[in-house]
């Protein structure tokens, strides 16, 4: 599978001053979440940290694009701080906050984004365990191959697990969001911030590790590096990634 990726934008906790590795080690006690100046105040007040980081990268990714793009959104856990609070309220037999409930669905983020940008294109929302990022990219590829769209906005976001769920963690935790514009390779020359990549996978059942970085962060690191190839492993798949050298 070959795709062109451009306008890749990422955000992670402490991204202003730390590398991804440093940020993972530091933890997330004091975080300055994105301000989101482009969102009107009356709408911004309802946005959770999860929504803020996802909407920030999405907006950055399409900042130079005037036409509406279809969106694939992927997240392993969605807005888990929000949903776990709702579950706790349910368990305590408290009434649920209508606002929190309304924004807790998995497609809330791309839906908010489409409302904010008046985008009427289709939205898919994906979750696939440790493979959520790469399966999201597969869905983007399927959408492009179907011929329905020439470009797709791909948004990925995951927040650090809430304390209640930290006992189940099977990879390193860092609140982060990534967005990019994806298209199929064409005759056209690549744009300045565009790269063509190939990705393939094989089914490969392996025992879970708890100390690896989420695939989304590894992908972003690889994309922004000089490294030509990489392999991402989950407990079910191996993903083989390589960049095309098009600077002929």
As measured in angstroms, the least distance from the Cβ of 44 to another protein is 8
As measured in angstroms, the least distance from the Cβ of 45 to another protein is 4
**Nearest residue (CB) to another protein, 37 versus 187:** 37
As measured in angstroms, the least distance from the Cβ of 40 to another protein is 10
As measured in angstroms, the least distance from the Cβ of 97 to another protein is 6
| Cα distance between residue 196 and residue 175, in whole Å | 27
**Nearest residue (CB) to another protein, 44 versus 238:** 44
As measured in angstroms, the least distance from the Cβ of 132 to another protein is 28
Positions that interact with another protein (CB under 8 A):
41-42, 45-46, 95, 97-99, 102
User: Three-state secondary structure along the chain?
Assistant: CEEEEEEEEEEECCCCCCCHHHHHHHCCCCCCCCCCCCCCHHHHCCCCHHHHHHHHHHHHHCCCCCCCCCEEEECCCCCHHHHHHHHHHHHCCCCCCHHHHHCCCCCHHHHHHHHHCCCCCCEEEECCHHHHHHHHHHHHHHHHHCCCCCEEEEEEEECCCCHHHHHHCCCCCCCEEEEEEEECCCCCCCCCCCEEEEEEEEECCCCCCCCCCCHHHHHHHHHCCCCCEEEEECCCEEEEEEECCCCC
**Nearest residue (CB) to another protein, 98 versus 167:** 98
**Nearest residue (CB) to another protein, 97 versus 195:** 97
**Nearest residue (CB) to another protein, 15 versus 86:** 86
**Nearest residue (CB) to another protein, 18 versus 100:** 100
As measured in angstroms, the least distance from the Cβ of 112 to another protein is 13
């Amino acid at each position: 599978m070959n795709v062109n990726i451009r306008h890749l934008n990422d955000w992670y906790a402490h991204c202003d001053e730390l590398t991804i590795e440093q940020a993972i080690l530091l933890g997330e006690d004091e975080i300055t979440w994105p301000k989101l100046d482009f969102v009107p105040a009356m709408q911004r007040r309802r946005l959770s940290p999860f929504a803020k980081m996802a909407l920030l990268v999405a907006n950055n990714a399409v900042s130079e694009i005037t036409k509406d793009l279809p969106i694939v959104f992927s997240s392993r856990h969605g807005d888990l701080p929000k949903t776990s609070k709702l579950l706790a309220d349910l368990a305590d037999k408290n009434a649920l906050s209508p606002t929190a409930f309304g924004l807790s669905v998995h497609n809330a983020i791309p839906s908010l984004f489409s409302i904010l940008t008046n985008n009427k294109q289709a939205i898919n929302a994906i979750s696939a365990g440790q493979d959520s990022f790469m399966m999201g990219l597969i869905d983007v590829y399927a959408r492009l191959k179907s011929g329905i769209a020439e470009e797709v906005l791909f948004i990925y976001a995951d927040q650090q697990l809430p304390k209640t769920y930290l006992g189940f963690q099977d990879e390193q935790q860092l609140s982060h969001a990534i967005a990019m514009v994806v298209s199929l390779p064409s005759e056209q020359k690549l744009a300045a911030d565009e790269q063509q990549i190939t990705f393939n996978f094989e089914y490969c059942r392996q025992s879970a590790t708890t100390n690896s970085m989420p695939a989304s962060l590894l992908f972003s690191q690889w994309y922004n590096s000089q490294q030509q190839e990489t392999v991402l492993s989950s407990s079910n798949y191996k993903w083989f990634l390589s960049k095309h050298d098009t600077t002929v």
